[in-house]
Amino acid sequence: MYNSFKRSKSGRKWSALLAIAIGGAFFLGSPNAVAQQKSATTKTTKGNPFIKHMYTADPSARVWADGRLYVYASHDIAPARGCDLMDQYHVFSTDNMVDWKDHGEILNSSQVSWGRKEGGFMWAPDCVYKNGTYYFYFPHPSGDDWNKTWKIGVATSRNPASGFEVKGYIPGLKSMIDPCVFIDDDGQAYLFYGGGGTCEAGKLKDNMMEVDGEMTKMEGLTDFHEAAWVHKKDGIYYLSYSDNHDEGDLHNRMRYATSKSPLGPWKSEGIYMDPTDSFTNHGSIVEYKGQWYSFYHNSALSNEDWLRSICVDKLYYNADGTIKKVIQTSGLAPKK
């Protein structure tokens, strides 16, 4: 998700977003892409972007006990008006990484009693499972001054793709975005969030709705912008994120850092994905059926920065545990 906080390198992105949010619908999708969104289907689609009947962004990928991989995504609404019209979340799942099912909308801003009365601003989410409950985390402002009133909301359900009810928000946090919850092998849950150059993290209590102790700044990250995501492989913790790269038509790259502890300190390891054709990028990394995958978004369907679409490609590691550069493709091929 594109963060509202002013960037340290340049105010150009902030100015563009602010103008869009105030001025209305400046960015229009292509006729075909808009038509696809209006004629949404709950069947399956193939190739990258792997969801073509609507605009989606900020994919949070998780694998659950039913053997399916689920992606929790935000929804860009056409015609685009920056990021402020994003107003709902959808869930998609697969059992073969080629055929995808849209389970439909699971949450929108009208269901958030403490949220901004004008709605909108439902940015990058995450979902985890613990003790029989699915916990869905999402950023949403609680007041008209959306940039200063972000909360990290929590909705729960007994099902991975339906029945979510908003239970409240995590108290005591700063006004930041992009929640990611990582549950370690011992069952301890950690919350990561951030934006505007800062990433913070801390333990969650067993109720998954309160911070246990203090949130601390993650040290050792190079050029952190937003979109924190944490996974673990062979005893190594990986914190991936979007950076502040802004050069001509090329923007956010995906970087990562490693640590021997879930709360750092972190060692910056470099870039694992080059910029897409979108103004932003936001990713997740997950293993499914023995293969690691990198999820991200681009603007291939619309050719507009704020009408994005989620994609996935294979991710590989070097022998020393570092990540090889992800190659962006037109989609995963079916297994023969």
Active-site residue set: 58, 226
Residue 183, beta-bridge partner list: 189
39 vs 28: CA distance, rounded Å: 17
Under a CB-based contact definition with an 8 Å cutoff, are residues 140 and 150 in contact? yes
8 vs 182: CA distance, rounded Å: 28
- φ, ψ dihedrals at 90, nearest 5°: -120, 160
Strand order from edge to edge, sheet including 224-233: 224-233, 236-243, 254-259, 267-273
80 vs 306: CA distance, rounded Å: 6
Under a CB-based contact definition with an 8 Å cutoff, are residues 199 and 3 in contact? no
By DSSP bridging, strand 150-157 and strand 133-141 are: antiparallel
Alpha helices in the chain (DSSP H): 12-23, 31-38
Please report, as a single letter, which amino acid is at residue 271.
I
